Structure 1
């Protein structure tokens, strides 16, 4: 019987169209280990592994560990995005900021 953590990982992985193999590769863990996390009741990943999985699924580690919520809230998605943003190069950050300005300008024109 899978844990709440395993169920969340599997559901998020499938929602994002990722295979076990692809998520395992991106998270730098073995496919068999990921399968065990999703399907076994004694899963106990390290925080490093959990953080890598969360980053690839675009959620926070806190969300994965919270046994209650089954769908990530907007706040969880926002925090995961901001963490990704912080890891970007200054040039990439500038491009993201420019895109946001264009979107905001477009929205202002609609009003």
Structure 2
């Protein structure tokens, strides 16, 4: 019987159309480790491993570790996005900021708030 963590990992992996092999590659894990995590109770991943899995699945570690079986809400998805954004090189952050500025400009050229 999987733990809530294992059930969430499996559900999110399937939702993102990731094979065990691809998730293993993204998280520097083995396929067997991830299969065990998804299906067994005895697996206790390290904080580093939970972080890598959360990043690959676009959620926060807190969401994965929470015992509830809820799906990630918008706050969780936003937090995961901003965590990924913060880890980008500064040049890439500037590009995103410019894209957002252009996207939010109204017809007068002013940035909307």
TM-score tier (shorter): over 0.9
Is residue 104 of structure 1 aligned with residue 110 of structure 2? no
Alpha carbons 1:63, 1:69 under 8 Å: kept: no
Is residue 78 of structure 1 aligned with residue 74 of structure 2? no
Partner of 1:55: 55
- Structure 2: how far apart are the matches of 1:104 and 1:36? 45
Q: TM-score, normalised by structure 2?
A: 0.91
- Structure 1: how far apart are the matches of 2:55 and 2:14? 15
1:17-76 CA distance string (max 9 Å, x none): 100000110011111101100000112100000100000001000000011142101111
Q: Which has the higher helix share?
A: 1
Alpha carbons 2:8, 2:69 under 8 Å: kept: no
Give structure 2 stretches of 5+ with no counterpart.
Answer: 108-113
Q: For this pair of structures, how many residues does the alignment match? A: 108
Alpha carbons 1:58, 1:81 under 8 Å: kept: yes
Alpha carbons 1:51, 1:60 under 8 Å: kept: yes
Give structure 1 stretches of 5+ with no counterpart.
Answer: none
Instruction: Give the structure with higher Rg (CA).
Output: 2
What's the C-alpha RMSD, in Å, of the aligned pairs? Answer: 1.3
Alpha carbons 2:24, 2:30 under 8 Å: kept: yes
Partner of 1:13: 13
**Runs (4+) off by over 3 Å:** none
